[in-house]
Amino acid sequence: MVNVTFTPDQWDLEILAALRAATTVLSGQVLADRLGISRVALWKRIQRLNRFTYRIQGGHGGYRLVADDAVLPWEFRDGQAVVYRSETSSTMDEAWTLAERGAASGTMVIADRQSAGRGRQGGAWLGPGGSLCLTLVLRAKLPANHAASLALEGACALAEWLEASHGRSLECHWPNALMAAGRKVGGLLVELAGTPEAPRFYLLGLGLDLRAMDLPGRPAQPPLRRELAAAFREHMAAWAEAPRLRPADWGRRCAQLSRPVTLEDWQGRTVTGIARGFAAHGGLILADPANGAETRFQPEEVLNIRLTGAPPCTETPHAS
């Protein structure tokens, strides 16, 4: 497990700003002169930055920034509430420890890779390089029986941001999977501490492979992880302060809505019906195709759910 071992100073940040602004290779001598440091000192700083998922290439002509997808604390407005790991076992585990120690709502644990990430029903996710792996600590004013609404609101917020900012389409697949072009590309995981009557905090984990969202005819460059992480964190932290339950909006982002689904419940029973929508607490409303009678299911009651006629959906790695 690796933590950030230095805090960038003015020169580090100016190096990044200059490279981001450059439209061609930037002369090392020009950059060193601008900063008032030697070429050797510049080279050492660039090597250090390259340890943290920046990729700065150097050659006879100078330097250029070829990869800029770092999720380090200083890339976020409130860096003090961001814990970065180049690799960790699980962002959920680290966030739980921080929450127990009193971490404020909105605290984020984010990692480049994880070796023992977990998903729903005991699924695992290793967090391949380039994925977004994060967990938020949320001290939401929300009853414990509404915990499922956190995943639905998170999926809806992600979809709205990606559509508005990058023209990308993202759908949720209840209870917590994220879908793009019919493929699972990630998911959300909710955990809570405390009792049903008095939850102390919630954890909202997100795992998303942004590269898997590339579509034919779209630019190959996916959204930057730090942009999406910042937008997701800002939205969910504000939402936790004053939860606004919006089942109609959640339903519009759901790939299963108005379609026949088959689910297996915790007792081993198989139930088929039409996904009618969501209750305010985040449960799925399933309508009997014969008589329209409605039954509501919470995520913890469901072992597996799939579109009727589709093969069983095994738990693929997707959370944090």
Domain count, the chain: 3
d(CA 16, CA 139): 35
Please list the residues that pair with 138 across neighbouring strands.
202
Q: Is the pLDDT of residue 319 over 90?
A: no
Position 1 in a domain: no
Q: Does a cis peptide bond (omega within 30 degrees of 0) precede residue 299?
A: no
In a domain, 313, yes or no: no
pLDDT tens digits, 9-59: 889 999 999 999 999 999 999 999 999 999 999 999 999 999 888 999 998
Same domain, 225 and 271: no
- For residue 57, how many other CB atoms are within 10 A of its CB? 13
Q: CA nearest 192: which of 124, 139, 149, 242?
A: 139
Question: Tokens standing for 213?
Answer: 């969202």
Provide the domain limits for residue 53. 7-68
Q: Are the CB atoms for 254 and 174 separated by under 8 Å? A: yes
Query: 2 and 86 in contact (C-beta within 8 Å)?
Result: yes
Mark whether 208 and 264 lie in a shared domain: no
Condensed to tens digits (0 to 9), the pLDDT of residues 222-251 reads 788 999 999 999 999 999 999 999 999 999
Instruction: Judge if 190 and 292 occupy the same domain.
Output: no
Q: How far apart are CA 173 and CA 307, in angstroms?
A: 10
Final residue belonging to a domain, choices 48, 68, 88: 68
CATH number of the domain within which 292 lies: 2.30.30.100
In a domain, 185, yes or no: yes
Instruction: Using the structure block, give the residue that is written with the tokens 């329209």.
Output: 292
Min mean pLDDT across 107-111, 268-272, 307-311 is at 307-311
Structure tokens at 282: 């985040």
Confirm if 19 and 30 have CB atoms less than 8 A apart: no
Residues 186 and 79 in one domain: yes
Confidence at 124, pLDDT banded by 50, 70, 90: low
* Residue 60 and residue 91 in one domain: no
Does residue 189 have a pLDDT over 90? yes
Query: What value, to the nearest 5°, has the Cα angle with vertex 131 and ends 128 and 133?
Result: 100
Report if residue 2 sits inside a domain.
Answer: no
Token reading at 77: 């407005």
Is there a single domain that holds both residue 113 and residue 188? yes
DSSP 75: G
Tell me whether residue 130 is in a domain.
yes
Residue 318 lies in a domain: no
User: What is the C-alpha to C-alpha distance for residues 91 and 199, in angstroms, rounded to an integer?
Assistant: 20
Residues 116 and 236 in one domain: yes
d(CA 182, CA 209) in angstroms, rounded, equals: 14
Among all chains, which residue has been given the structure tokens 């913890």? 300
Please name the residue ranges forming H helices in the chain: 10-21, 28-35, 39-49, 91-100, 148-166, 225-241, 247-252
CATH number of the domain to which 18 belongs: 1.10.10.10
Is residue 280 in a domain? yes
Whether residues 62 and 79 share a domain: the answer is: no
Gap between the Cα atoms of 319 and 81, Å rounded: 21
Of residues 257, 260, 192, 180, the one with CA closest to residue 223? 180
| pLDDT grade for 176, boundaries at 50, 70 and 90 | very high
Whether residues 58 and 113 share a domain: the answer is no
Look at residue 172 and tell me if it is in a domain: yes
Are 124 and 225 found together in one domain? yes
91 Cα distance to chain centroid: 11
